[in-house]
């Protein structure tokens, strides 16, 4: 492709963009045509992206897309976009050190891995978005349709970023300037909180319970009703049932549009909260959080501030009334107070988790890391963000599984992330090039893979492999990652040491791994004290939930235990510090007001809409910790040794083709499973069972239906036995 062809391609792409805009005006009637155009646009973006001088900031406005969306299709165009605002160097494609062959790892017993020919702080919104994306996916509310989840979706291969060769890459191995994680010197301020069931109108505040008329359940009607009966000290209201932001979902093509309409509707006398004027330690953010399942509305009326929050960020209430939900929060606070005398339940489990962790940072003079944990350079943080995925979600379709399943069993790892916090990466990483790794002895190589580490690798699936995939491969599209398992297939990816070790040393057939580059940290335990305290709180609440004589207390204890789990789960995810995506508008003709680093994503002739992706300075940004926990959890989903029982558990210890689906820390299988369960973090608990033939699910909705039926059937069986 030459320059003329490239410019012609941009012009054609702009035409496609305009066609897309026209189609969207009548989306309900022309949905199929829109999908065709978007597919055409993506194909053109991919083709243009192959041009050597292509730039995402030119293709994005031409396509009517954001840089994030363009780089999801053509990762080579902007792998370091998250650090763009800080003038981070461009991350090039993978380039091995000249003259340094990638070493072929071997098993400890010197058995060679099989070889195969390779087939060819602007505002608070970003923090909330980061929290809701952290950790495992949350089940969506009932919707008309859910997107299908395919097994090993091939899509288009997505190239992951690499560390630049030589001194440019070595310059990344530094701590971020003036960013250190230190224990806070202030105490969080408590928020006065109420609980509201929007379906029934039941409102609970401290020891007072009553019912109020919520009118049409609009934001205006709810704020007017609660403000009339609650004292001005109340600043946060948890919605325990009703999801009022979904009340007009049938009127909109997308659920998120319905939520946006509900949040942005006029509320007489109230304005969107600005977050200004708050005291130190006040957990107050600005603006609404637009999220299709877990939105947060923030308003202010003079000096009064009020948030409407879904309880689903903490736990699913499972039909519990607001009084029981309030009791659950009281029990949660008491359980945490045993370990943190200054505990405050903040606006989300993610912020609560990170605040509690910050209060475990060592302060004793002479203690290691007493001066705080250094934050890595923006380049390394951006690299981890782009190359370290979260939980594994995969649905296997016929013919990989029978169209008629003989039965379905759900096995869920109890408090799974708590199993993988005992060791963590600290300090500035050491870069390990292919040449350096090759120069080490076999023992040194093995030790390196057992250290906290993150590796760029070339993977070849072993010959004769007939089980699920072991390592993630990047693809375009919503899935982002797939897990190839075709014998002899070769792909390049990044993975944590836990997963690399599993691929090399699994009991079925070791895969061939070639180290291309890597990051290795000092081993320590930055999360252990925090996680141990949360585990203890979870254990006590779980025990109380199983033994208390009163049913309401059992339910409240169970919900409180689930909230502790969310604090750990979302707290780990909060360390990832995802980039913040901010949008804004300026009138046509005032393009000079578009912020530096922003991309124009829409222009209707009157208003220009821009989008900017940034990393804001965050002293608690530690994506290396989140990446390590996620990698360990994905490996544990496949194989884990229960030493006290001398037995191995996980998907690789089930028959091939018996795996129906993975859902973060759960396995759905057709096999009969009798694994030991002691109620410890990481143990596999039998959560659901359908002991009769069912049709294999082909969508997420169908899988969730089987999940609900399986859990209900198992509960009935257990009640019958009792």
Total number of residues shown for the chain: 722
The DSSP code for 373 is: E
pLDDT at 270: 93
The C-alpha R_g of the chain, in whole angstroms, comes to: 26
Q: Is 539 helix (H, G, I), strand (E, B) or coil?
A: helix
Strand extents, DSSP E, 467-587: 473-474, 481-482, 490-496, 512-524, 580-587
Q: List beta partners, residue 121.
A: none
pLDDT at 72: 63
For residue 268, count other CB atoms closer than 10 A to its CB.
8
Concatenate the DSSP letters of all residues of 114-142 into one string. Answer: P--PPP----SHHHHHHHHHSSSPPPPPP
- The first and second tokens of residue 581, run together, are 């995506």
Q: Tell me the C-alpha to C-alpha distance, in Å, between residue 699 and each of 168, 484, 520, 705.
A: 45, 20, 39, 10
Q: How far apart are CA 289 and CA 213, in angstroms?
A: 26
Nearest CA among 498, 458, 494 for reference residue 382 = 494
Q: How far apart are CA 426 and CA 618, in angstroms?
A: 16
Q: Is 702 helix (H, G, I), strand (E, B) or coil?
A: helix
Strand extents, DSSP E, 128-262: 175-181, 192-197, 202-205, 208-211, 234-241
Q: How far apart are CA 609 and CA 586, in angstroms?
A: 7
Q: What angle do CA 122, 123, 126 make, to 5 degrees?
A: 100
Alpha helix stretches (DSSP H) within 548-619:
551-574
Sign, CA torsion 298/301/305/311: negative
pLDDT at 592: 83
Strand extents, DSSP E, 563-681: 580-587, 599-603, 607-614, 640-642, 647-649, 659-664, 666-669
Q: What angle do CA 693, 696, 697 make, to 5 degrees?
A: 130
- Half-sphere CA count of 165, side-chain side, radius 13 A: 12
The DSSP code for 416 is: G
pLDDT at 107: 31
Find out whether 347 and 127 touch, Cβ atoms under 8 Å. no
Sign, CA torsion 49/50/55/58: negative
Q: Is 334 helix (H, G, I), strand (E, B) or coil?
A: helix
Find out whether 17 and 63 touch, Cβ atoms under 8 Å. yes
The DSSP code for 398 is: T
Q: Is 307 helix (H, G, I), strand (E, B) or coil?
A: strand
- Domain boundaries along the sequence of the chain: 387-526+622-721
Residue with tokens 């996916």: 137
Q: Is 431 helix (H, G, I), strand (E, B) or coil?
A: strand
Q: Is 534 helix (H, G, I), strand (E, B) or coil?
A: helix
Q: Is the peptide bond before 399 cis (omega within 30 degrees of 0)?
A: yes
pLDDT at 285: 77
Element (H or E) spanning 452, and its range? none
Sign, CA torsion 400/403/404/408: positive
Q: How far apart are CA 348 and CA 285, in angstroms?
A: 11
Q: List beta partners, residue 649.
A: 640
Burial of residue 367 (number of CB atoms within 10 Å: 0-12, 13-18, 19+): exposed
Mean pLDDT, contiguous 10-residue spans, the chain (722 residues):
74 77 61 72 82 76 72 60 31 31 34 29 31 34 32 63 92 93 89 95 95 96 96 95 93 88 91 69 75 91 92 93 97 97 92 95 87 92 91 93 96 94 94 95 94 97 96 85 95 96 95 97 95 96 93 96 96 83 77 76 76 75 96 96 94 96 96 93 95 95 94 90 74
Phi, psi of 232 (to 5 degrees): -65, -15
């Amino acid at each position: 492709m030459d320059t003329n062809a490239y410019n012609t391609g941009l012009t054609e792409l702009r035409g496609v963009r305009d066609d897309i805009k026209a189609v969207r005006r009548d989306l309900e009637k022309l949905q199929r045509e829109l999908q065709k155009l978007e597919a055409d646009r993506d194909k053109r973006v991919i083709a243009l992206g192959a041009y050597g001088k292509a730039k995402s900031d030119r293709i994005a406005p031409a396509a009517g897309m954001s840089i994030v969306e363009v780089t999801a299709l053509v990762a080579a165009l902007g792998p370091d976009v998250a650090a763009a605002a800080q003038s981070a160097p461009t991350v090039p494609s993978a380039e091995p050190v000249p003259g340094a062959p990638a070493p072929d790892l071997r098993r400890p017993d010197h058995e060679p891995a099989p070889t195969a020919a390779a087939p060819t702080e602007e505002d608070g919104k970003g923090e909330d978005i980061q929290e809701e994306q952290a950790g495992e996916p949350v089940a969506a509310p009932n919707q008309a349709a859910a997107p299908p989840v395919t097994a090993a979706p091939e899509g288009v291969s997505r190239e992951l970023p690499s560390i630049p060769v030589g001194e440019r890459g070595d310059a990344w191995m530094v701590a971020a300037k003036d960013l250190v994680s230190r224990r806070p010197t202030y105490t969080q301020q408590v928020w006065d909180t109420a609980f509201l069931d929007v379906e029934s109108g039941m409102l609970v505040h401290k020891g007072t319970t009553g019912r109020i008329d919520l009118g049409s359940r609009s934001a205006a009607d709810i704020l007017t009703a609660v403000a009339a009966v609650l004292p001005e000290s109340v600043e946060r209201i948890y919605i325990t049932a009703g999801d009022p932001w979904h009340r007009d979902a049938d009127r909109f093509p997308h659920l998120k549009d319905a939520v946006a309409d509900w949040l942005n509707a006029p509320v007489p006398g109230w304005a969107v909260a600005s977050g200004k004027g708050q005291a130190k330690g006040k957990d107050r953010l600005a603006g609404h959080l637009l999220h299709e399942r877990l939105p947060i509305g923030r308003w202010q009326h003079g000096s009064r501030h009020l948030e409407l929050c879904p309880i689903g960020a903490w736990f699913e209430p499972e039909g519990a009334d607001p009084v029981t939900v309030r009791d659950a929060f009281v029990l949660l606070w008491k359980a945490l107070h045993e370990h943190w005398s200054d505990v405050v339940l903040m606006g989300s489990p993610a912020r609560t988790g990170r605040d509690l962790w910050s209060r475990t940072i060592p302060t004793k003079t002479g203690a290691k890391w007493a001066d705080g944990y250094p934050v890595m350079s923006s380049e390394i943080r951006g690299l981890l963000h782009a190359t370290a995925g979260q939980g594994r979600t995969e649905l296997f379709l016929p013919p990989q599984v029978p169209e008629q399943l003989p039965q379905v069993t759900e096995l869920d790892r109890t408090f799974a992330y708590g199993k993988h916090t005992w060791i963590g990466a600290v300090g500035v990483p050491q870069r390990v090039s292919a040449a350096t790794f090759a120069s080490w002895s076999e023992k040194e190589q093995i030790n390196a893979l057992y250290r906290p580490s993150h590796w760029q690798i070339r993977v070849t699936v072993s010959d004769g492999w007939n089980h699920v995939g072991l390592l993630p491969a990047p693809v375009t599209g919503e899935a982002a990652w797939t897990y190839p398992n075709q014998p002899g297939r070769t792909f390049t990816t990044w993975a944590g040491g836990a997963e690399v070790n599993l691929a090399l040393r699994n009991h079925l057939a070791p895969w061939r791994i070639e180290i291309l580059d890597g990051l290795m940290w000092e081993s320590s335990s930055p999360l252990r004290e925090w996680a141990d305290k949360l585990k203890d709180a979870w254990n006590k609440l779980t025990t109380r939930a199983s033994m208390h004589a009163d049913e309401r207390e059992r339910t409240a204890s169970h919900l409180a235990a689930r909230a502790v789990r969310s604090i750990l789960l979302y707290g780990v995810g909060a360390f990832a510090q995802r980039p913040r995506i901010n949008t804004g508008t300026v009138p046509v003709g005032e393009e000079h007001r578009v912020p530096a680093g922003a991309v124009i994503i829409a222009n209707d002739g009157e208003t220009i809409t821009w989008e900017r992706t940034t990393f804001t300075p965050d002293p608690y940004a530690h994506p290396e910790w989140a990446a390590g926990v996620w990698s360990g959890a994905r490996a544990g989903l496949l194989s884990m040794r229960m030493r006290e029982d001398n037995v191995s558990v996980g998907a690789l210890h089930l028959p091939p083709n018996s795996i129906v689906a993975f859902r973060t820390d759960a396995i759905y299988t057709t096999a009969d499973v009798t694994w030991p369960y002691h109620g410890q973090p990481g143990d596999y608990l039998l959560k659901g069972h359908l002991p009769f033939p069912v049709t294999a699910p082909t969508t997420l909705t169908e899988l969730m239906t089987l999940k609900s039926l399986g859990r209900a059937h198992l509960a009935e069986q257990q009640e019958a036995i009792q």
